[in-house]
């Protein structure tokens, strides 16, 4: 484990996939970024996008030149960061050598959450940092199965480029192709078939994926 020292503060990862900030002199610890680190890590401000008719809002850190759709300030875990596509937190977590393959009580890793949230940049970051591409959760679902279930075709492409297994099965014997077909995710089905997924492979109910198409 690496500790990142920032002024009189240090940043520590936990075994549960969280970060906390500790002030040694004051013997104080907290989960969220202290105000005194604004000069080092920047501060986040809500901004209105005036160029769009709907005037959507996003969060901007001018010091780091980063923008995020969701407010990153309450985030304390790698799982929430991956779900939201919060690269700021993910980079900070990786910098202090937090375990990227840590799992929550359901066996879900940060890569699973990035796939569920449709965060292509988050998935790319985790894979570039050697996160395990085929790590199964407690039901046997790999990140590819999750990405297909939620119809995140761009994330599916990233996983396939990282050589994610096409044969990995979750509960019920469903492969990624079964899940994509069951949910009507045609773009995901197309990508899987192009990469050699077996459309005749049955699940535990002896049902091949093509029945759902």
Give pLDDT tens digits along the chain (213 positions).
566 777 788 999 999 999 999 998 889 999 999 988 899 899 999 999 988 888 999 999 999 999 999 999 999 999 999 999 999 999 999 999 999 999 999 999 999 999 999 999 999 999 999 999 999 999 999 999 999 999 999 999 999 999 999 999 988 899 999 999 999 999 999 999 999 999 888 888 766 665 554
- The per-residue pLDDT for 213 is 46
8 Å CB contact between 144 and 107 = no
Cα–Cα distance for residue pair 119/155, rounded to 1 Å? 7
Distance (Å, whole) CA 18 – CA 102: 10
Q: To which residue do tokens 């002896």 refer?
A: 206
Contact 40, 128 (CB under 8 A): no
- End-to-end C-alpha distance for the chain, whole angstroms: 47
pLDDT value at residue 202: 84
pTM of the predicted structure, to 2 decimals:
0.90
DSSP string over 112-169:
HHHHHHT-HHHHHHHHHTT--TT---TTS--HHHHHHHTT-HHHHHHHHHTT--SS--
∠27-100-90 over CA atoms, to 5°? 65
Distance CA 1, CA 174 (A): 37
């Amino acid at each position: 484990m690496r500790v990142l020292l920032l002024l009189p503060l240090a940043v520590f990862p936990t075994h549960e996939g969280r970060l906390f900030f500790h002030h040694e002199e004051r013997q104080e610890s907290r989960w969220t970024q202290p105000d005194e680190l604004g000069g080092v890590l920047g501060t986040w401000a809500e901004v209105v996008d005036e160029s769009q008719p709907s005037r959507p809002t996003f969060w901007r850190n001018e010091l780091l030149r980063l923008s995020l759709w969701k407010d990153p300030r309450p985030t304390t875990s790698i799982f929430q960061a991956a779900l939201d596509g919060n690269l700021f937190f993910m980079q900070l977590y990786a910098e202090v050598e937090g375990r990227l393959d840590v799992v929550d009580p359901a066996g879900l890793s940060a890569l699973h959450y990035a796939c569920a949230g449709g965060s292509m940049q988050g998935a790319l970051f985790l894979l570039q940092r050697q996160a395990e591409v085929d790590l199964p959760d407690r039901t046997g679902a790999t990140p590819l199965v999750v990405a297909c279930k939620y119809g995140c075709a761009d994330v599916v492409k990233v996983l396939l480029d990282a050589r994610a297994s096409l044969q990995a099965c979750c509960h019920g014997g469903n492969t990624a192709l079964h899940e994509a077909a069951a949910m009507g995710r045609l773009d995901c089905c197309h990508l899987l078939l192009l990469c050699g997924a077996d459309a005749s492979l049955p699940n535990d109910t002896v049902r091949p994926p093509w029945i759902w198409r």
